[in-house]
């Protein structure tokens, strides 16, 4: 549980009003839940000035720093979390290792995972996840050895090998490339996005990397029974396109008096946008799409019958057919 408002605090010669620290922590949590990571970092930065030894928000603080690509500070916070005696030690360790990989500290990651596995410190149900981390770390170490960081090596595996992995491993591998130099991986990424058997979310990750690489060639995307030829650099990122932004605005007007349903609706809309990118909802107008999501929530919560329409069928197919 989060703390209730308590005693007076002092910062220098100033008395801090009761509840100031707690309100900042609450704001930080809320911003993380809403994926507003810049604002979350601001809130936690202020909170830590009042309670520099507090450990109650280190987890979301580290996540927010990671998402804003402040990896050095994120690792410091994650390290404090690990040494705080947290009950979620394994989750904290996974976060710490992921951050360390972003900092290209591959040897440390290898030694740490090896020690955890040898000591039996990883629960049985998480062994596969940590093994994926280890394998991914090994590949990154080969691709970016310390003495050749500016001279990327060729892809250490083929598309066919990549397709043999499960979806989690594929997603983790592509997500780890965000923010790195991926120009030399363009042929690999093009083949991935054009393979119909690849999961929709994995295709989206590959498309984002092609945008990152500035690829202005054509690729043909096949998802959910549709096909489309696009140029990646000519599209906005998922959830940032004009249609999704307007659908989110419409749903906010419809559900402004019901914050809990509004947040759930926003999550469903962003999920759809990400999974179906670059198809979106086709030519359906934003207000109709928002109304369909409101009906979908009525069905989820109250069992109100759904209209048998093409739009509703699409929404259900994407939502129920994914684990994202």
Domains of the chain (ranges; CATH) run: 1-103 (1.25.40.10), 157-235 (no CATH), 242-320 (1.10.472)
The runs of H, that is alpha helices, within 68-214 are 71-82, 89-102, 106-118, 127-143, 159-164, 167-175, 186-193, 200-212
> What CA–CA distance (Å, rounded) separates 250 from 234?
25
Comparison of pLDDT for 149 and 242, the residue scoring more: 242
Residue 172: partners with Cβ closer than 8 Å, 6 or more residues away: 132, 133, 136
Q: How confident is the model at residue 4 (pLDDT cuts 50, 70, 90)?
A: very low
> What pLDDT is stored for residue 48 in this prediction?
82
Mean pLDDT of 148-160: 62
| Main-chain dihedrals φ then ψ at residue 21, nearest 5 degrees | -60, -45
pTM (two decimals): 0.55
Q: Of the ranges 52-56, 162-166, 169-173, 184-188, which is most confident?
A: 184-188
Nearest to 192 by CA among 168, 234, 159: 159
Percentage of the chain beyond pLDDT 90 is: 38
First to last CA, the chain: 27
Q: How confident is the model at residue 284 (pLDDT cuts 50, 70, 90)?
A: very high
**CA angle in degrees (0–180, nearest 5) for 117-121-122:** 75
Helix (H), strand (E) at residue 295:
helix 286-302
Q: What is the pLDDT of residues 55-114, one digit of tens each?
A: 888 889 999 998 888 888 998 998 888 888 776 788 888 889 989 888 888 888 899 888
79: alpha, beta or left, given left = phi > 0 and alpha = psi -120 to 50?
alpha
> What CA–CA distance (Å, rounded) separates 31 from 46?
14
Q: How confident is the model at residue 154 (pLDDT cuts 50, 70, 90)?
A: low
| Main-chain dihedrals φ then ψ at residue 219, nearest 5 degrees | -135, 150
> What pLDDT is stored for residue 231 in this prediction?
93
> What CA–CA distance (Å, rounded) separates 106 from 145?
9
The answer, yes or no, to whether residue 16 has pLDDT greater than 80, is no
Q: Of the ranges 41-50, 136-145, 220-229, which is most confident?
A: 220-229
Nearest to 134 by CA among 116, 121, 152: 116
> What pLDDT is stored for residue 153 in this prediction?
52
Mean pLDDT of 220-244: 91
């Amino acid at each position: 549980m989060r703390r209730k408002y308590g005693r007076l605090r002092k910062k220098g010669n100033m008395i801090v009003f009761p509840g100031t620290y707690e309100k900042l922590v609450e704001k930080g949590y809320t911003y993380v839940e809403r994926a507003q990571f810049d604002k979350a970092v601001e809130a936690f930065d202020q909170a830590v000035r009042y309670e520099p030894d507090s450990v109650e928000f280190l987890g979301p603080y580290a996540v927010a720093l990671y998402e804003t690509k402040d990896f050095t500070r994120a690792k410091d916070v994650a390290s404090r979390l690990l040494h705080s005696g947290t009950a979620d030690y394994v989750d904290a360790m996974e976060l710490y290792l992921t951050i360390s990989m972003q900092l290209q500290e591959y040897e440390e990651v290898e030694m740490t995972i090896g020690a955890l596995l040898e000591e039996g410190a990883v629960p049985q149900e998480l062994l596969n996840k940590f093994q994926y981390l280890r394998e991914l770390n090994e590949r990154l170490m080969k691709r970016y050895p310390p003495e050749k960081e500016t001279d990327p090596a060729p892809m250490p595996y083929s598309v066919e090998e990549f397709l043999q992995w499960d979806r989690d491993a594929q997603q983790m591998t592509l997500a780890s490339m965000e923010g790195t130099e991926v120009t030399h991986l363009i042929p690999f990424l093009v083949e991935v996005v054009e393979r119909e058997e690849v999961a929709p979310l994995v295709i989206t990750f590959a498309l984002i990397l092609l945008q990152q690489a500035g690829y202005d060639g054509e690729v043909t995307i096949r998802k959910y029974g549709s096909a489309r030829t696009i140029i990646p650099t000519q599209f906005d990122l998922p959830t940032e396109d004009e249609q999704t932004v307007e659908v989110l605005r419409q749903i906010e007007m419809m559900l402004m008096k019901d914050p809990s349903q509004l947040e759930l609706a926003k999550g469903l809309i962003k999920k759809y946008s990400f999974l179906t990118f670059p198809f979106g909802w086709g030519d359906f107008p934003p207000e109709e799409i928002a109304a369909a999501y409101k009906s979908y929530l009525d069905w989820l919560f109250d069992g109100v019958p759904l209209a048998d329409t093409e739009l509703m069928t699409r929404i259900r197919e994407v939502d129920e057919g994914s684990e994202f």
